[in-house]
Amino acid sequence: MADIVFDALTRWYGDTPQRRVLDDVSGQIRGGEFVVVVGRSGSGKSTLLNLLGGLDLPSRGTVRIGDVDMATLNDRRITELRRARMGFIFQSYNLIPTLSVADNLRLPLSLNGLPEDNRVAEWLDRVGLDGRQEAWPDQLSGGEQQRVAIARALIHGPEFIFADEPTGNLDLDNAERVIALLDGLCRESGRTLIMATHAREVVGLADQLLTIRDGRLVDAGAAA
């Protein structure tokens, strides 16, 4: 399992470099770790995840995944890297509303040229949604939609899972269920889980805690 090493990551937007969303952030995420990124809204958590996952490019600094320097990849190769080795989970679920639950799960398999076999049914069973294959996303509760999103992020066997405020739209009971599910599924398969959240109750599950304040990394280390 590859490590992610990031050095001096800086991101600004527009023509005013002094207004930096992320400023000189460095660190290392070991393969198989559960890393939690905490900080207030607007602190730079999502920007860090986007840079580590190749959804955005740094204004300065580098991201290495194993032996791969992301800066050396063109758009096509970054897309291929994300598609094959990464899974993404968002606060807003990002399910495709015109596709059934099953077809949402088939999408990453199709994009990666993988056979379906019985994976869709297996993953829906693992997230507690057996029998909901033909449901539409708008027929599901928020907690159910997020569980579908987790299954979609994991079904193609990626090494890295990026979760950006995955419980932000859920009530407490559903949030706890989703966090426990995501933690358990990733740990049993040895995947690297990187989660940005403002929910401090997640901290106790983490192997490493990164605290972001005003775009800067103010603390990094083992979670208490």
Positive or negative: CA dihedral 194, 200, 202, 204: positive
Euclidean distance between the first and the last CA atom of the chain, given in angstroms as a whole number: 25
Global pTM?
A: 0.93
Q: Residue 203's pLDDT is what?
A: 86
Instruction: Give the residues of the chain that fall short of pLDDT 70.
Output: 16-18, 221-224
Catalogue all structural domains in the chain, each as residue range(s) with its CATH number.
Answer: 32-57+83-221 (3.40.50.300)
pLDDT tens digit sequence for 101-144 = 999 999 999 999 999 999 999 999 999 999 999 999 999 999 99
**What distance in Å separates the CA atoms of residue 160 and residue 76, rounded to the nearest whole number?**
19
- Tens-digit pLDDT profile for residues 197-217: 987 778 889 999 999 999 999
From residue 42, alpha-carbon distances to 3, 165, 198, 204 in Å are 27, 12, 11, 23
Per-residue pLDDT at 87:
96
Residue 107 sits at the vertex; the CA angle it makes with 76 and 170, to the nearest 5 degrees, is 105
Residue 84 and residue 90: Cα distance in Å, rounded? 18
